[in-house]
Amino acid sequence: MTEKAFFKPNLNISLVQTNLHWENPTANLAMLEEKIFCIDGPTDLIILPEMFTTGFSMNASQFSEPMNLTTTRWMKQMASQTGAVITGSFIIKEKENYYNRLLWVTPKGEVDTYDKRHLFRMAKENDVYAEGTKRLIKTIKGWKICPLICYDLRFPVWSRNVNLEYDLLIYVANWPKVRMYPWDSLLVARAIENQSYVVGVNRVGEDGNGFPHSGNSAVIDFAGKVLFREIDSEVIHHHSLDRSALDEFRQRFPAYLDADSFVIV
């Protein structure tokens, strides 16, 4: 097999760090559509914050949607028009349960989902939403990608990259300013321990409960180096993740071969 056959291209990602209109899905979809159409240049993956239609709302009975309705269709439209996968979470009702559900929508209209596993009990999220039971790992251009949600960041076992299951770990979030030190620190820790790129996409601005958010959305490489971080400002950041640098680092320092194997039950 030739050297060319082993080549994997870089991954172009776009992070959308933005303020959100509190509990106003119509305004948020219009605002995000405008931002998405301002993306300049080719991108493979567009990443929106957690609960991007409402902010971190516990009013699930009022603002939830069934699958394949307004927001799902909007995401399909955005993916089709941009030619990129689009991901982020919003409130879904399925049967009698509410979920903080991340959708992964391709330009072809394919939809996969991840339900937030760790629910933030300090805001009583666990009283409103049902927890997820399994991770989602998807592939773009040969890159294996694991998207998770906000509070999941604090739980390294759930994020563990056993046998290099993924190359990029994503956290979409509504993480408040008062706890930015753990956010910044844990994103770096997840990158180092998993020998993976890590991307965190957080919101900015004050939510309807009066909690300010400073964003601190970031791109971190497999060795824990912060390649990008933006504080307080709204921004659409484009980044090309270097595949050859990732593969060379893993080959040169294969700590993953000594990791503990386990299964979450």
150 is catalytic: yes
Q: State residue 176 phi and psi, 5-degree precision.
A: -75, 155
The residue from 76, 125, 150, 230 that is catalytic is 150
| Rounded Cα gap, residues 9 and 13, in angstroms | 13
Sign of the dihedral through C-alpha 177, 55, 11, 191: positive
The residue from 50, 76, 125, 138 that is catalytic is 50
CA 2 from centre of chain: 35
For residue 235, the one-letter residue type is: V
The residue from 76, 116, 138, 177 that is catalytic is 116
| Rounded Cα gap, residues 229 and 256, in angstroms | 27
Strand 197-201 vs strand 168-172: parallel, antiparallel, or unpaired? parallel
- Report whether 13 contacts 238 (CB < 8 A): yes
CA 44 from centre of chain: 14
| Rounded Cα gap, residues 43 and 66, in angstroms | 29
CA distances from 46 to 9, 122, 178 (A): 17, 29, 27
The helix/strand/coil state of 90 is strand
- Report whether 138 contacts 128 (CB < 8 A): no
193 is catalytic: no
47 closest CA partner among 19, 24, 16: 16
Burial class (CB in 10 A: 0-12, 13-18, 19+), 22: middle
Kindly list the catalytic residues. 50, 116, 150
